[in-house]
């Protein structure tokens, strides 16, 4: 089997890596940039810091902070209008997965034109957009190194997954110091998103010899650092470890593929407005239990890598130890069940579960799962997570 591996051509990682923004933009010949971010970043003063650095470096920033968590096609269109009316020659994303994904979509919509939904799915983007530099502030989605963007189509209430190498950032500046301000709940949600990337990349039917070591190292780092980063927000080695885990997880899953957890998580996010990391976290134990038999050796390796299996356990025992460990991790990190999320009601859940299951299946991700489900299986798994 042959496989393709794409990552940004430049990844600069470590404390202070975000200070490389001006030199990198200069290298690209950019003079006027669209800075894509969100309201929190504007209020936090971080944008002001970058604005000052950019102006001092002779670069004019046009600030666009209208990206909402789990960004929509409308956010993307608003960004394209600023990009085009202000004649920007490059784009910079500052924030979590939401600003990074919005910026990727802004870039390709600007060159390819409407409708954005034409880019949905695998390898549907015809032409590259302007250069894009991304600076993640969550650890996280791994979007800084992925050829993936997830944008909500507001007319259809669907989270569109787009995967294409034209969505790859030109440069990623991965600076864990920017994640020190993450509150505990955000640390938990994005951290379990990272873990899910590692697990799904490793058990995916499209896993490759290049993605396996990245996925396992991602899982190992999460085991070492997530609970510490969650309980001690200022712990720099833990923040650094989680940032590296997120970036490795992104490299792994974008080149092997996510599977059933992500497939089922997107409809939950789209319909109940539950953050991406949280909707993954509350599905992960049930989906893992369902999938174990399809890739027992691989799940056993994950279990050993996470430290939840002892050396004397055989593959059956090690794989079986994984689910209780994931349940315990959710309890420790105070991840609620679907029914405990403030935006869900049983009536709406019952009304929507068939649509959620069919949207999940239509996304294509469940087809990469070790056991490929049918709609009734997916509904049963949603019930389990309820």
Contact between 187 and ligand NAD (CB under 6 A)? no
Based on C-alpha coordinates, what's the Rg of the chain? 20
Helix (H, G, I), strand (E, B) or coil at 235: coil
Contact between 149 and ligand NAD (CB under 6 A)? yes
* Minimal distance, residue 321 CB to ligand NAD, in Å: 27
| Crossing angle between the packed helical segments 276-291 and 315-332, to the nearest 10 degrees | 160
Angle at 158 between CA 115 and CA 104, to 5 degrees: 55
Can you tell me which of 18, 75, 98, 211 binds ligand NAD, judged by CB under 6 A? 98
Helix (H, G, I), strand (E, B) or coil at 240: helix
* Minimal distance, residue 193 CB to ligand NAD, in Å: 6
Contact between 154 and ligand NAD (CB under 6 A)? no
Window contacting ligand NAD (CB under 6 A); options: 12-20, 49-57, 145-153, 237-245? 145-153
**E strands of the chain, at which residues?**
10-13, 32-36, 60-64, 90-95, 121-122, 132-136, 148-153, 158-163, 171-174
Q: Which is nearer to ligand NAD, 189 or 353 (CB)?
A: 189
Burial string for 158-190 (b: 16+ CB within 10 Å, else e) reads bbbbbbbebbbbbbbbbbbbbbeebeebbbbbb
Contact between 107 and ligand NAD (CB under 6 A)? no
Contact between 190 and ligand NAD (CB under 6 A)? yes
Contact between 186 and ligand NAD (CB under 6 A)? yes
Q: How far is CA 311 from CA 195, 289, 301, 317, in A?
A: 22, 21, 11, 11
Closest CA to 201 of 209, 192, 211: 211
State the Cα–Cα distance between residues 235 and 210, nearest whole angstrom.
Answer: 31
Backbone φ and ψ for 74, nearest 5 degrees, come out as: -70, -40
199: Cβ contacts below 8 Å, ≥ 6 apart: 215, 219, 261, 284, 288, 302
According to DSSP, the β-strands at 148-153 and 158-163 are: antiparallel
* Minimal distance, residue 247 CB to ligand NAD, in Å: 11
* Minimal distance, residue 140 CB to Fe ion, in Å: 9
Contact between 233 and ligand NAD (CB under 6 A)? no
- Are 201 and 252 within 8 A, CB to CB? yes
Q: Which is nearer to ligand NAD, 249 or 292 (CB)?
A: 249
Contact between 129 and ligand NAD (CB under 6 A)? no
Question: CB under 5 to 8 A by kind: which of ligand NAD, Fe ion, none does 144 bind?
Answer: none
Tokens of 173: 């500046």
* Minimal distance, residue 229 CB to ligand NAD, in Å: 12
Which residues inside 326-385 make contact with ligand NAD, applying CB under 6 A? none
Can you tell me which of 140, 198, 263, 370 binds ligand NAD, judged by CB under 6 A? 140
Question: CB under 5 to 8 A by kind: which of Fe ion, ligand NAD, none does 69 bind?
Answer: ligand NAD
Contact between 204 and ligand NAD (CB under 6 A)? no
Contact between 240 and ligand NAD (CB under 6 A)? no
Can you tell me which of 83, 178, 295, 322 binds ligand NAD, judged by CB under 6 A? 178
Percent helix / strand / coil, the chain, rounded to 5: 60, 10, 30
The DSSP code sequence of 306-354 is HT-S-TT--HHHHHHHHHHHHHHHHHHTTPPPGGGSTT--HHHHHHHHH
Contact between 70 and ligand NAD (CB under 6 A)? yes
Contact between 170 and ligand NAD (CB under 6 A)? no
Contact between 79 and ligand NAD (CB under 6 A)? no
Q: Which is nearer to ligand NAD, 269 or 292 (CB)?
A: 269
Can you tell me which of 6, 13, 28, 40 binds ligand NAD, judged by CB under 6 A? 40
Per CB under 6 A, residues contacting ligand NAD are 38, 40-41, 69-70, 95-98, 101, 137-138, 140-143, 146, 148-150, 178-179, 181-182, 186, 190, 193, 250, 276-277
């Amino acid at each position: 089997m042959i496989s393709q591996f794409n990552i940004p051509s430049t990844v600069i990682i470590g404390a202070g890596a975000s200070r490389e923004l001006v030199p990198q933009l200069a290298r690209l010949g950019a003079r006027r940039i669209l800075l894509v971010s969100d309201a929190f970043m504007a209020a936090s003063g971080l944008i002001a810091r970058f604005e000052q650095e950019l102006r001092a470096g002779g670069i004019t920033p046009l600030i666009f902070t209208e990206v909402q968590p789990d960004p929509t096609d409308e956010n993307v269109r608003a960004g394209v209008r600023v990009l085009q009316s202000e004649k920007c020659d490059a784009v910079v994303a500052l924030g979590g997965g939401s600003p990074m994904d919005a910026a990727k979509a802004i870039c390709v919509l600007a060159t390819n034109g409407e409708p954005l939904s034409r880019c949905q799915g695998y390898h549907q983007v015809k032409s590259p957009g302007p250069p894009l530099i991304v600076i993640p502030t969550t650890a996280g989605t791994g979007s800084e190194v992925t050829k993936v963007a997830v944008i909500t189509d507001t007319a259809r209430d669907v989270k569109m997954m787009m995967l294409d190498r034209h969505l790859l950032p030109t440069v990623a500046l991965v600076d864990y110091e920017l994640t020190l301000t993450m509150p505990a709940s955000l640390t938990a949600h994005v951290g379990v998103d990272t873990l899910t990337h590692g697990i799904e990349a490793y058990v995916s039917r499209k896993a490759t010899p290049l993605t396996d070591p990245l996925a396992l190292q991602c899982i190992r780092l999460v085991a070492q650092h997530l609970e510490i980063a969650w309980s001690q927000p200022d712990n720099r080695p833990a923040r650094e470890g989680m940032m590296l885990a997120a970036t490795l997880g992104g490299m792994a899953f974008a080149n092997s593929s996510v599977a059933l957890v992500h497939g089922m998580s997107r409809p939950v996010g789209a319909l109940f407005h539950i953050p991406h990391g949280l909707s993954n976290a509350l599905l992960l134990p049930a989906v893992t239990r369902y999938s174990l038999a399809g890739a027992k050796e691989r799940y056993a390796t994950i279990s050993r890598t996470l430290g939840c299996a002892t050396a004397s356990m055989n593959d059956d025992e090690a794989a079986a130890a994984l689910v209780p460990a994931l349940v315990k991790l959710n309890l420790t990190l105070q991840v609620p069940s679907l029914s405990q999320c403030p935006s869900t009601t049983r009536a709406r859940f019952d009304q929507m579960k068939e649509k959620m299951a069919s949207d999940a299946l239509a996304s294509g991700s469940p087809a990469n799962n070790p056991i490929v489900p049918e709609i009734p299986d997916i509904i049963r798994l949603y019930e389990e997570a309820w």
